[in-house]
Chain A
Amino acid sequence: MSTGGREEAPSAGQAATQEAVEAVESVGRSAIQLVEDVGGIALMGLQTAVWLFRPPYRLKNLVAQLDYIGVGSIFVVGITGLFTGMVFAVQTYHAFSLFDAQGLVGATVALSLSRELAPVFAGLMVTARVGSAIATELGSMRVSEQIDALATMAVDPLQYLVVPRVVACVAMMPVLTMLFDTVGIMGAYLVAVFGMGVDAATFLGRIRTWVDPEDILGGLIKAAVFGLLISLIACYKGYNAKGGAKGVGTATNEAVVMGSVTVLVVDYFLSLLLASFWSTHAARGPG
């Protein structure tokens, strides 16, 4: 039955129901999007792995990305590492002075940096600097149809654009983490030895006593994993950007946020995994 061509305004109850439904739909869409993203990133990772070993090997692109990701991040990672080590030395010095154990400052800073802080902070810095750049660059290429043009020219965009970035990021993250470790411990040394009066031999001796090579290796492994994830996320978001300039911005934003969160979340699970791995190799346990 016709109402005479006029639509009735929804009641308050209907409006509330509509909002609730939309909220649930939003959650559902986010979950679906997350699954889609994870799946897409995984597929991109697999394709990257495949294209990594297929010629032509575009070393020039790789070197350029190594330069941009690694050498270009030296300053920001170095500054971050220096002040992280210095701040950590100040705080641990005051904490350990309560127990008259200031000699443990070096060991504590070195352990923290090598196991956790260096890979995580370096990962965050690379996410902020490199991940955003990759997403923006690839997003711009996508919305300007440059990627489509590559495909038209029988150049696989994944091999040309993604593989060098992923490889460079995986390779440079451990290097930057090593830089972070070194500069951070140097900063802690400066503060503790010259600023707080901790004995230099004690500082270094405690590092040698308490820090094991496994700690350094674990940090570097984490950094490589972080590099892989950061680059894949950034490439995925940029590669699949749509909607013009706004879409590029959204892709960049999502790449940084997702990359940062992923670094922190994955760090936890990697820590558990590595601890279990080292414990197993330390042959400690029942039996």
Chain B
Amino acid sequence: MKLRSFVTPFKVGLFVLVAIGAFIGFYTFVHKGGLSKEDSVDCFAVFHDASGLEKKTQVLIAGIAVGEVTSITLYEGQYARIGLRILKTVKLRTDGAITKRSASILGEYVLDLYAGSEQAPLMKDGGQIVNVVDQAGMQQIFQALGKITDDIQAVTKELRNVMAGQQGSIQQIVRNLSAVSSTLDRTVAINGERLDETLGNFQRLSAQLASIASAQRGNVGEIVENVRVASDEARQALATLDQVLGANKGSLAENFASLKTTLGHLDDSLRNVQDITKRIDQGEGPIGRLVNDKALGDKLDRTLTGASTLVDRIVGMQTEVSMDVDYMWGEAAAKGYLNLKLIPKADKYYLVQVVDDSRGTPQFAFTQTTPAAPLTQEPAQQVITTTRSFKFSGEFAKTIEPATFRLGIIESTAGGGVDVNLLGNDLRFTTDLFDFNDFYQPLPRLRSYLTARFLDHFEVRGGVDDALNCDSYSGFRFNCAQRNVVAAEGRGYTLGGRELFFGGAFTFTDEDLKAVLAAAPMPK
């Protein structure tokens, strides 16, 4: 009984003691340890915004707590008066500064303190920290961050435009630089060629001048030869004189006379030489003007340059002659082409073509009734005249690999076409579009075919002609095809319409033509 009466109070007491111990421990743990009045100096600061500050908010210097907020009151009706208690060991000066800083984005704030300079007096109890740096609130920070983000987006956008845009971008600049360098290279190359040409012209001019001079030197040589002949004659004369003096003194006078005549000839020859050289030096005569007139020399140079360029172009132009024959499936007729291709440069050529088209050239005429029918009515009679005649093509072609674009006259009508070269030009896909104004056909004439080249000179090809209009032959005839065929002279003439064809061609180049022409018999 006594033990029981002892145990119960013991349990209660132990429990209470443990709880008190826990309370003291917890209380001590969370107790911030406020600063004593004796060890601290009380002061205050005025903030525009005290949000986030609480009593006992820490005051830090370099992250070390040196004080705390003791009170927060309204000041002059619109500011926050923050009471502070700062350790005296800090030696807070009157020129100290304080600022509010967010310790986290969750709204925890601390105060950062700058103690002040040593020259300023110590802060007295109840003094004011005048230098307050108000930090922006989180909302202002987020607004500022938003603006900064917008700026960054703008910058990145500009940067993206600069890096990859079409106007004023680095890519554009690089492209421009590349184009400039290419142009510079091309200019240097072109000027180099022109310089070479100019030097060549000078060389030719000097050669021609040398030739002229050499021609003139012929005269001089002739003169010299005359002098040599004269000297020989003089020698002979002296010999004769000696003979005369020795054996035939009687004819001495005659020999002297002959000598005098010879010397006179020599003197005349030398005078002629002097006269010629003087006239050349004075610019008289064609040779003199050529030698002394600069304008004439330049003109001659230009003439020679032009002539040289022309000759170069003529010499450099390649010629290709080809003959094509197609079998028109629908018409059961052949169609022939004779082509002359003039190729001044590798990327362009001129094509002259004579075409024997089995379709002929239809001509349309209307016989108007009398009196004239209203315009809204059909004419009384329609006359179609098909003339079998050659058609001509003249096209200018420009190659932009892998395609060659042609424009001009195709089979006596305006048109154009494109060749797409495949497999190293061994395979070519060709499309022509022409004959836009054919009265009889509703749509222009579209011809597409594929050409395969073999053995360098031979081609086979096949395709479809007049693909946009109705079929013209019975095998693939549609309802509208009947009107495309007219009967005349016991056979059908195709006026137009879609039909298949296949054929071949062979081609001669410059070298082939030279060989052929060299081997051909020439009329004597």
> A residues touching B (Cβ–Cβ < 8 Å)?
60, 63-64, 66-67, 70-71, 74, 99, 101, 104, 110, 114, 171, 174-176, 178-179, 181-182, 204, 207-208, 211-213, 215-216, 220, 282-287
**Residue among A207, A211, A283 making CB contact with B73, cutoff 8 Å:** A283
Counting CB contacts under 8 A, is B16 at the interface?
yes
Query: In the complex, which residues of chain A have a beta carbon less than 8 angstroms from the beta carbon of B105?
Result: 99
Query: In the complex, which residues of chain A have a beta carbon less than 8 angstroms from the beta carbon of B32?
Result: 212
Query: In the complex, which residues of chain B have a beta carbon less than 8 angstroms from the beta carbon of A104?
Result: 106
Query: In the complex, which residues of chain B have a beta carbon less than 8 angstroms from the beta carbon of A286?
Result: 73-74
CA distance A153 to B37 in the complex (A): 61
**Residue among B16, B73, B74 making CB contact with A70, cutoff 8 Å:** B16
The answer to whether A216 and B55 touch across the interface, beta carbons within 8 angstroms, is no
Counting CB contacts under 8 A, is B472 at the interface?
no
B26 nearest CB across to chain A (Å): 6
Q: How large is the interface on B (under 10, 10 to 19, 20 to 34, 35 or more residues)?
A: 20 to 34
**Residue among B20, B30, B70, B73 making CB contact with A216, cutoff 8 Å:** B30
B138 nearest CB across to chain A (Å): 13
The answer to whether B71 and A71 touch across the interface, beta carbons within 8 angstroms, is no
Which of B7-15, B221-229, B502-510, B516-524 lies at the interface with chain A?
A: B7-15
The answer to whether B104 and A101 touch across the interface, beta carbons within 8 angstroms, is yes
Query: In the complex, which residues of chain A have a beta carbon less than 8 angstroms from the beta carbon of B15?
Result: 70-71, 74, 175
| Given known A207-B29, A207-B30, A283-B73, contact A175–B55 (CB-CB < 8 A) | no
Chain B 403-435 against A: per-residue CB contact (8 Å), 1 yes, 0 no?
Answer: 000000000000000000000000000000000
A97 nearest CB across to chain B (Å): 13
Which chain B residues in 1-37 approach chain A with CB under 8 Å?
Answer: 5, 8-9, 11-12, 15-16, 19-20, 22-23, 26-27, 29-32
CA distance A111 to B111 in the complex (A): 23
Residue of A104, A178, A181 ringed by the most chain B CB atoms within 10 A: A178
Query: In the complex, which residues of chain A have a beta carbon less than 8 angstroms from the beta carbon of B26?
Result: 114, 178, 181-182, 216
The answer to whether B22 and A67 touch across the interface, beta carbons within 8 angstroms, is no
The closest CB in chain B to the CB of A204 belongs to B29
- For the complex of A and B, the 9 pairs showing the least CB-CB separation, nearest first, are A175-B19, A282-B55, A283-B71, A211-B30, A66-B12, A178-B19, A182-B22, A286-B74, A67-B8
Counting CB contacts under 8 A, is B398 at the interface?
no
Counting CB contacts under 8 A, is B391 at the interface?
no
CA distance A175 to B19 in the complex (A): 6
The answer to whether B56 and A179 touch across the interface, beta carbons within 8 angstroms, is no
CA distance A176 to B55 in the complex (A): 30
CA distance A179 to B18 in the complex (A): 9
The closest CB in chain B to the CB of A171 belongs to B16
Query: In the complex, which residues of chain B have a beta carbon less than 8 angstroms from the beta carbon of A101?
Result: 104, 106
> B residues touching A (Cβ–Cβ < 8 Å)?
5, 8-9, 11-12, 15-16, 19-20, 22-23, 26-27, 29-32, 54-56, 70-74, 83, 104-106
**Residue among A66, A178, A207, A282 making CB contact with B23, cutoff 8 Å:** A178
**Residue among B16, B27, B30, B55 making CB contact with A284, cutoff 8 Å:** B55
| Given known A178-B23, A212-B30, contact A285–B16 (CB-CB < 8 A) | no
CA distance A283 to B54 in the complex (A): 10
B85 nearest CB across to chain A (Å): 12
CA distance A110 to B22 in the complex (A): 14
B34 nearest CB across to chain A (Å): 10
CA distance A64 to B19 in the complex (A): 18
The answer to whether A284 and B106 touch across the interface, beta carbons within 8 angstroms, is no
The closest CB in chain B to the CB of A101 belongs to B106
| Given known A208-B29, A284-B55, contact A71–B11 (CB-CB < 8 A) | yes
The answer to whether B12 and A220 touch across the interface, beta carbons within 8 angstroms, is no
Query: In the complex, which residues of chain B have a beta carbon less than 8 angstroms from the beta carbon of A176?
Result: 19
CA distance A241 to B488 in the complex (A): 135
CA distance A176 to B16 in the complex (A): 9
Contacts A63-B8, A282-B54 known; 4 new A-B pairs at CB < 8 A? A178-B22, A213-B30, A284-B54, A285-B74
B289 nearest CB across to chain A (Å): 99
Query: In the complex, which residues of chain B have a beta carbon less than 8 angstroms from the beta carbon of A64?
Result: 8
Query: In the complex, which residues of chain A have a beta carbon less than 8 angstroms from the beta carbon of B55?
Result: 282-284
Query: In the complex, which residues of chain B have a beta carbon less than 8 angstroms from the beta carbon of A215?
Result: 30
| Given known A207-B29, A208-B30, A285-B73, contact A216–B12 (CB-CB < 8 A) | no
Residue of B16, B29, B30, B31 ringed by the most chain A CB atoms within 10 A: B30
B288 nearest CB across to chain A (Å): 103
CA distance A110 to B26 in the complex (A): 10
The answer to whether A179 and B8 touch across the interface, beta carbons within 8 angstroms, is no
Ordered by A's residue number, 11 sampled pairs between the chains whose C-beta atoms are within 8 Å are A60-B5, A67-B9, A70-B15, A71-B15, A74-B15, A104-B106, A178-B26, A211-B30, A216-B27, A220-B23, A284-B54
Query: In the complex, which residues of chain B have a beta carbon less than 8 angstroms from the beta carbon of A182?
Result: 22, 26
A34 nearest CB across to chain B (Å): 35
**Residue among A70, A114, A212 making CB contact with B12, cutoff 8 Å:** A70
B14 nearest CB across to chain A (Å): 8
B267 nearest CB across to chain A (Å): 123
The closest CB in chain B to the CB of A111 belongs to B30
CA distance A106 to B302 in the complex (A): 100
A180 nearest CB across to chain B (Å): 10
Query: In the complex, which residues of chain A have a beta carbon less than 8 angstroms from the beta carbon of B5?
Result: 60
Residue of A174, A182, A285 ringed by the most chain B CB atoms within 10 A: A182
The answer to whether A179 and B19 touch across the interface, beta carbons within 8 angstroms, is yes
A285 nearest CB across to chain B (Å): 7
The answer to whether B27 and A213 touch across the interface, beta carbons within 8 angstroms, is yes
A116 nearest CB across to chain B (Å): 16
The answer to whether B12 and A179 touch across the interface, beta carbons within 8 angstroms, is no
**Residue among A60, A179, A212, A285 making CB contact with B22, cutoff 8 Å:** A179
The answer to whether A67 and B12 touch across the interface, beta carbons within 8 angstroms, is yes
The closest CB in chain B to the CB of A185 belongs to B26
Query: In the complex, which residues of chain B have a beta carbon less than 8 angstroms from the beta carbon of A67?
Result: 8-9, 11-12
B18 nearest CB across to chain A (Å): 8
A276 nearest CB across to chain B (Å): 15
Query: In the complex, which residues of chain A have a beta carbon less than 8 angstroms from the beta carbon of B8?
Result: 63-64, 67
B256 nearest CB across to chain A (Å): 138
The answer to whether B31 and A213 touch across the interface, beta carbons within 8 angstroms, is yes
CA distance A67 to B7 in the complex (A): 10
Query: In the complex, which residues of chain A have a beta carbon less than 8 angstroms from the beta carbon of B74?
Result: 285-287
Query: In the complex, which residues of chain B have a beta carbon less than 8 angstroms from the beta carbon of A66?
Result: 12, 16
The closest CB in chain B to the CB of A64 belongs to B8
B178 nearest CB across to chain A (Å): 50
The closest CB in chain A to the CB of B5 belongs to A60
CA distance A171 to B12 in the complex (A): 11
